[in-house]
Structure 1
Amino acid sequence: MFIGLDLGTSGLKAVLIDGAQAILAEATAPLTASRPQSGWSEQDPADWLEAADQVMQALGAQRSLDAVQGIGLSGQMHGATLLDASDTVLRPCILWNDTRSVDEAAGLDADPQFRALTGNIVFPGFTAPKLAWVAKHEPDFFARLARVLLPKDYVRLWLTGEAVAEMSDAAGTSWLDVGKRDWSDDLLAATQMTRAQMPRLVEGSDVSGVLRDTLAARWGLPKGVVVAGGGGDNAASAVGVGVVQAGDAFVSLGTSGVLFAASDAYHPDAATAVHSFCHALPNTWHQMGVILAAADALNWFAGVTGRPPAELTHALGPLQAPARPLFLPYLGGERTPHNDANIRAAFLHLDHSLDTVSMTRVVLEGVTHAIRDSFDALSATGTKIDRLIAVGGGSKSDYWVQAIATSLDIAIDLPVSGDFGGAFGAARLGMMAATGAGAEIATRPDIARTIVPDPSLTASFAQAHARYRDSYVALKGLT
């Protein structure tokens, strides 16, 4: 048996699979982020460990774990977990959707070696500018810094005692030479960092360490359970849904929104704001467009209305043509294609006819238009996407998935267990590490059904997207 742990922003998910990759048990523990200032987003790493303990005990309550051979890790990317020489956390982790380091990111991005070596813009959400911000604004913490870890890798440190990162997550730090799949000493030096402060690197399917005996005993696992390198959340989700070869792609409607395409070569195009990262498997890369608020935008609106997100989406009925009102979902800035940390969300063209149902529709359409922006950016790099798999909590809304399918004019498959893509992919990586298996086990999941575009509405979605793009330009001029 094999376990996958997926450390998300809103919760930590776990799945237990058998040797045939059937899911035997699953569990989730909730997490919350704090926003002490506008544009800031933080979590206490201690909460991750408590959540991991909860889900492991929940799995054990459902099935015996005495035959587990491997554990794989998946997690939210880019977070800066700062540790001192005794591996004590110095401050709350600065998360992926935190944009406080906009000035530091711009400064690093102006240095040509960053795009040349990483293949990416230095976004404010990436890890390196966060450390530059800490050096400037919290020098006492920076002076005590002995090690920086990405979120899932802090969980790994607790699980195994090993400070290790893997390629897909490391690629989102702005310190990795993505083509060479190694830390760049020059990029580290540009942020007053050294290789000694960085974790050891492995591939996602490699063994990164062995579960501590004390934790194995606590959870009823045997001694010697290996922990795989794992993957960043989207790379792990890609392994989970079989997106591991050129031409394979998925769309994720999690807290953020992602359009992800696998590649067998490294083809960066930083100017498009498309991310070019290592995949979680050796000798494989991927490109993705990322928007900062997908399900997060729906959850925000649900909080405003005081109604659960599922209740809002279930009331929508069949897909409709976009109306004149628009929602720009830039609640915390935007990445692809704008790289704009200062832009903020807006509703436009509201009138008296709008109610909760129609406003929900407008919110989903706004995220759909943002996904279309990423699709256009990926297409501009030469990436071709013919079919998509949908994952993430937002994929439970047929209305939303069909809106995206219609906007992109692409059929979208819904896997049977789409909400556990990251955790399932992590479990597959755990299987690879424990058994020596490779990408051949990362097959496409069983598809529950396929949602196809509505050809009668494709033109209206294209027109609405054009107005959406124009609205961003107008709104940017007001900030």
Structure 2
Amino acid sequence: MSFIGIDLGTSSVKAVLVDDRQRVLATAARELTITRPAPLWSEQAPADWVAATLETLRRLKDTAPEAFRRCAGIGLSGQMHGAVLLDARDEPLRPCILWNDGRATAECAEIETGEPASRAITGNIAMPGFTAPKLLWVRKHEPDIFRRTRKVLLPKAYLRLVLTGDAIEEMSDASGTLWLDTGRRDWSDRMLAATGLDRSHMPALVEGSQAAGRMRPELARELGFDAPPLFAGGAGDNAAGAVGLGAVDPGSSFLSLGTSGVLWRTTAGFEPRAGSAVHAFCHALPGRWHQMSVHLSAAASLSWWSSMSGQSEAALLGELGGQIDRPSPVIFTPYLSGERTPHNDPQLRAGFLGLGHDTDRKAMTRAVLEGVAFAFRDGKEALEDGTSPIGEAMAIGGGARSDTWLAILADVLNLPLRRYRQAEAGAAFGAARLARLACTGESPEAVCAPPSGEADIFRPHPDRAAAYAERHALWRRAAEVSHALR
């Protein structure tokens, strides 16, 4: 048997084909674009996701036709929080409002005022990026679209609907809507009512490792499968990454340095920390939960600096020449899209501080890498406040390919980081593991093992860690300027 994992990300759709020994046989990717029609807005066309997904599946087939033909199951991973509004014919009524859209700030306050138990039910503070505030915004500003809305799906659930005909979502992604009773792992009637919706607007709920539809027969024939593959519930992107890394036992941690940044810790139970803007969500596996600090512009900060400087990201990193021996004289606050943990403020903005006539591009690049690391440090302190410290973490995401960046992060966080080559497949690999679980019924422990083989280990250097701790205090004062300019 073989299995496919599809990761519907923000910047691209990625897919992997793995065999029953969990070897990656083929990979494929197709880029996506974001539109920003107004300040704080961030949208995508759902049709683009479908086209990109079908293209990546065909590329997998071209690379490994026999294994592709025998695929038994498909798992979906997806960007979280997006609002896909469907009419009575399951057609999108407008572009999807994405996770990094900040227009619904006022609606967050309305939700928490209208349902005072919101944080206790969901385990999370209301944030503009979550799905529920977006629906209040639509009801207020696009009332005709709200009136015509019959279903609200997250991005990967819409993709499943197109591929299978079934409206099904799983627990980890549903946790990011603000409509889930996260402790009970079920939709909350009270939270739905707070946004003028009810259960009829929601997809069915399953665990990420459970069966969740089968590919439409006509599509399976067109793509060249022997039989329509079974779909697993799948996972939100970070939960899928955790499954791929084997971060399934309580206390296991990883750092994701993707478009956004995440510091993750698996928990045995539902442990909300809403006051510090830490997310408390369901894991993609039954009976497990997790906490996350989330940072909206991680690798996105380097991408932005690349576009501003006219240099490729590889060229900018190459200019640094490897090991960084001291903090940059320049400070950068990475709030290009606002921030979640610990500030929960979409109005925060990024900026450089400390520029002079002698400032060169290398100093500014270092400042960007360090600024993202300092934001992660804020998130780490929020995660650890009042509980046990994080001992070490695995590192994944596109930014984690940079030795220099991981060395800076290890020093700033004073935390050992491990990078495994096997982990490069990321969320798509975790989705493929969930597909296997749905098909075989194996235990998660039997399938979701941590990466094997040698790891690149980035350990904090005492002198640099001390210098960065001192610099972090100054960086926080610069971050306060961002608050003042909001």
Superposition pairs of residues 183-262 of structure 1, within 5 angstroms: 183-262=187-266
Taking the aligned partners of 2:416 and 2:29, their CA distance within structure 1 comes to: 30
Secondary structure in structure 2 of the residue aligned to 1:247: coil
* 8 Å Cα contact 1:269/1:381 also seen in 2: no
Equivalent of residue 92 in structure 1, options 91, 95, 98: 95
**More displaced 10-residue stretch of structure 1: 339-348 or 285-294:** 339-348
Deviations 1:42-98 (A, max 9, x none): 000000000001100000000021211110000100000000000010000000000
CA apart distance, 1:448: 3.5
Secondary structure in structure 2 of the residue aligned to 1:235: helix
CA apart distance, 1:220: 1.5
Equivalent of residue 172 in structure 1, options 161, 169, 176: 176
Q: Which residue of 1 aligns with 2:302?
A: 298
Secondary structure in structure 2 of the residue aligned to 1:426: helix
* 8 Å Cα contact 2:420/2:451 also seen in 1: yes
CA apart distance, 1:144: 0.2
Secondary structure in structure 1 of the residue aligned to 2:163: helix
Q: Is 2:114 the counterpart of 1:108?
A: no
Amino acid at match of 1:195: R
Deviations 1:266-323 (A, max 9, x none): 1111101100000000000000000000011110110111221122112212123113
**TM-score, with structure 2 as normaliser:** 0.97
Taking the aligned partners of 2:289 and 2:46, their CA distance within structure 1 comes to: 29
Distance 1:374 1:47, change over 3 A: same
Taking the aligned partners of 1:319 and 1:425, their CA distance within structure 2 comes to: 33
CA apart distance, 1:113: 1.4
Q: Which residue of 1 aligns with 2:186?
A: 182
Q: Is 2:342 the counterpart of 1:341?
A: no
Amino acid at match of 1:380: D
Q: Which residue of 2 aligns with 1:328?
A: 333
Q: Which runs of 5 or more structure 1 residues have no equivalent in the other structure?
A: none
Equivalent of residue 397 in structure 2, options 387, 392, 398: 392
Secondary structure in structure 1 of the residue aligned to 2:50: helix
Equivalent of residue 312 in structure 2, options 308, 315, 321: 308
Q: Is 2:6 the counterpart of 1:5?
A: yes
Secondary structure in structure 2 of the residue aligned to 1:98: coil
Q: Which residue of 2 aligns with 1:445?
A: 451
Q: Which residue of 1 aligns with 2:439?
A: 434
Q: Which residue of 2 aligns with 1:36?
A: 37
Q: Which residue of 2 aligns with 1:150?
A: 154
* 8 Å Cα contact 1:314/1:397 also seen in 2: no
Amino acid at match of 1:91: R
Taking the aligned partners of 1:224 and 1:474, their CA distance within structure 2 comes to: 55
CA apart distance, 1:324: 3.0
Q: Which residue of 1 aligns with 2:71?
A: 68
Q: Which runs of 5 or more structure 2 residues have no equivalent in the other structure?
A: none
Taking the aligned partners of 1:133 and 1:456, their CA distance within structure 2 comes to: 49
**More displaced 10-residue stretch of structure 1: 338-347 or 128-137:** 338-347
Amino acid at match of 1:322: P
Amino acid at match of 1:356: R
Taking the aligned partners of 2:175 and 2:213, their CA distance within structure 1 comes to: 21
Amino acid at match of 2:35: S
Deviations 1:128-147 (A, max 9, x none): 00000000000010000000
Secondary structure in structure 1 of the residue aligned to 2:117: helix
Secondary structure in structure 2 of the residue aligned to 1:267: coil
Note the aligned Cα RMSD (angstroms): 1.0
Secondary structure in structure 1 of the residue aligned to 2:280: strand
CA apart distance, 1:381: 4.6
Q: Which residue of 2 aligns with 1:270?
A: 274
Taking the aligned partners of 2:19 and 2:4, their CA distance within structure 1 comes to: 9
CA apart distance, 1:397: 0.7
Taking the aligned partners of 1:320 and 1:53, their CA distance within structure 2 comes to: 46
**More displaced 10-residue stretch of structure 1: 373-382 or 227-236:** 373-382
Deviations 1:449-470 (A, max 9, x none): 2121122200111111111222
Equivalent of residue 122 in structure 1, options 126, 149, 164: 126
Q: How many residues align?
A: 479
* 8 Å Cα contact 1:288/1:378 also seen in 2: yes
Secondary structure in structure 2 of the residue aligned to 1:319: coil
**TM-score, with structure 1 as normaliser:** 0.98
Secondary structure in structure 2 of the residue aligned to 1:290: strand
- Structure 1 stretches of 4+ moved >3 Å: none
Secondary structure in structure 2 of the residue aligned to 1:39: coil
Amino acid at match of 2:271: H
Secondary structure in structure 2 of the residue aligned to 1:407: helix
Distance 1:134 1:8, change over 3 A: same
* 8 Å Cα contact 2:61/2:69 also seen in 1: no
CA apart distance, 1:383: 4.5
Q: Which residue of 1 aligns with 2:369?
A: 364
CA apart distance, 1:354: 1.6
Deviations 1:335-369 (A, max 9, x none): 00000111111111111222222211110100000
Amino acid at match of 2:273: D
* 8 Å Cα contact 1:15/1:24 also seen in 2: yes
Secondary structure in structure 2 of the residue aligned to 1:315: helix
**More displaced 10-residue stretch of structure 1: 8-17 or 213-222:** 213-222
Q: Which residue of 2 aligns with 1:376?
A: 381
